[in-house]
Amino acid sequence: MKIGRLEKLELRTLWKRESTEFTPWLAQEENLQLLSESIGIELELQSQEESVGPFRADILCKDTIDGHFVLIENQLEKTDHIHLGQLMTYGAGLDVVTIIWIAQKFTEEHRAALDWLNRITDSTYNFFGIEIEIYKIGDSLPAPKFNVVAKPNDWSKQMKKATSSPMLTEKKLLQQEYWGNLKEFMESKRSFVKMRNPLPQHWTDISIGKSSIYLSATINSKDNSINVWLNVVGEKSKETFDKLYNLAYKDSLTEISPNLIWDKMENRKQCAVILKSSGDFTKKSDWTNQFEWFKDNLEKYTTFFKSRIKSI
C-alpha cells in the first residue's frame, strides 16, 4: 500500500501578514470551530482588531456557555515579551477571563509564564498557549493543526476553589460526583456532546454554538426528575424564542420527543424548551440508565437545534 508523507509548511507561505491575512482567516467560523475543539471552549466571534485605548487586540470572542469574553492574540513567529505585555494590557482593558496566545513557537520562558498565571489565578481565569502548524500531503490542500502547549490545570483550580469555599454538603458533593461520572460516561461512549468539568450544583451547561442559547442538564431532588433544557436568554430572548418556535416547534415533537415543553416564561428574561424524565440522582445503582437518557437526548437536542439556531 502506498501512503503519503506529511510535509510541514512555513506559516508565512500561507499568510504574509498577521493583521490582514491570518487574523481574518482565524475569525472565520469554521476556523474558530477548529480552535474551539482544540481547547474545549465554544467560541463566538465578537470583533476583530478591537480597540483597547491606543491599541488593537486581534480577535475578541465570547464563551458561548457563560458569555465571558475571550481574547485571542496571534503571532506568526516565536513568542516575545512584547506580545506577552500586550496580552496583559488587552485582557485588563477588555475585562476578559480567558486569554489565548497563538504563535508559531513558544519559548520555555513564555510557556512557563502562562503556566504561572494559571497557577496563581482562581478558576475564573484561563490562559492558553497554542502553537499552530500547517501540513499537507502531496498536492493536498494545506491543513492547520493547533497544539496546546499551555492550559489551565482544571484539577488544581477546582481544588483551590473548593478549599476557598465553605464546607460542601453531602448533597453538593454527590451532585459534583454525578456530573463527573456523566462526563466520563459521555467520553467513554465517544459522544459528540462535550461536557464541562463538574461543579457541586444541580445543573451543568453545554454549549450549542451561541452565547445567548445553550443546553443544560439538570437533576431535581424535589420531584426526582432529570431534565434537558434549551435555554434562550437575554434582552431579546422572547423574540428569539418566537423565531425558533415558528421554525422548529412541529418538527421538534417528532425528532426529539412529543413530550417537549416550549415555555416562554413570560415574566423572565429567559425562555426554554424542556424535556423531563423520572430519575432519582441519589440512587447510584440507576446512574447508568440516567446517563443513557442524558446522552440520547442531549445528542438529539444538539443535532436538531444547532443548525436551526444558526439560521435565526
- Domain boundaries along the sequence of the chain: 6-157, 166-310
Give the model confidence (pLDDT) of 57-102 as tens digits. 899 999 887 788 999 999 999 999 999 998 888 888 888 889 999 9
Tally of residues, the chain = 312
pLDDT of residue 158: 58
Q: What is the rounded average pLDDT of the residues 23-47?
A: 90
pLDDT score of 163 more than 50? no
> Quick one: average pLDDT of 184-206?
92
| Region 6-157: CATH code | 3.40.1350.10
pLDDT of residue 256: 97
Pairwise CA distance, residues 148 & 312, whole Å: 33
Q: Which residues pair with 151 in a beta bridge?
A: none
Can you give the pTM of this predicted structure?
A: 0.69
Q: Which pLDDT does position 295 carry in this prediction?
A: 98
> CB of 11 within 8 A of CB of 145?
no
Q: Which residue has the higher pLDDT, 166 or 196?
A: 196
pLDDT of residue 100: 96
Of the candidates 191, 197, 143, which has an alpha carbon nearest to the alpha carbon of residue 294? 191
Weakest mean pLDDT among 112-116, 208-212, 303-307 = 208-212
Radius of gyration of the chain (CA): 22
Of 158, 26, 150, 25, which Cα lies nearest the Cα of 99?
150
Mean pLDDT of the chain: 90
> Looking at domain 166-310, which CATH architecture does it have?
2-Layer Sandwich (3.30)
| pLDDT the model gives residue 234 | 86
**Distance (Å, whole) CA 71 – CA 93:** 11
- What does the longest C-alpha to C-alpha distance in the chain come to? 65
Q: Which one, of 307, 81, 102, 79, lies nearest residue 208 by Cα?
A: 307
Q: What integer is the mean pLDDT of 238-247?
A: 96
> Residue 166: its pLDDT value, please?
59
Q: How far apart are CA 221 and CA 219, in angstroms?
A: 7
Q: Has residue 19 got a pLDDT over 90? A: no
With cut-offs at 50, 70 and 90, classify the pLDDT of residue 160: low
Q: Is 161 a residue whose pLDDT tops 60?
A: no
Phi, psi of 32 (to 5 degrees): -65, -35
What are 263's strand-pairing partners? 272
- Three-state SS for the chain is CCCCCEEEECHHHCCCCHHHHHHHHHCCHHHHHHHHHHHCCCEEEEEEEEEECCEEEEEEEEECCCCCEEEEEECCCECCHHHHHHHHHHHHHHCCCEEEEEECECCHHHHHHHHHHHHHCCCCCEEEEEEEEEEEECCCCCEEEEEEEECCCHHHHHHHHHHCCCCCCHHHHHHHHHHHHHHHHHHHCCCCCCCCCCCCCCEEEEEEEECCEEEEEEEECCCCEEEEEEEEECCCHHHHHHHHHHHHHHHHHHHCCCCCEEECCCCCCEEEEEEEEECCCCCHHHHHHHHHHHHHHHHHHHHHHHHHHHCC
Q: What pLDDT score does 106 carry?
A: 97
The percent of residues above 70 in pLDDT, for the chain, comes to 96
Residues of the chain with pLDDT > 90, as a percent, come to: 65
User: Within a 10 A sphere around the Cβ of 51, how many other Cβ atoms?
Assistant: 11
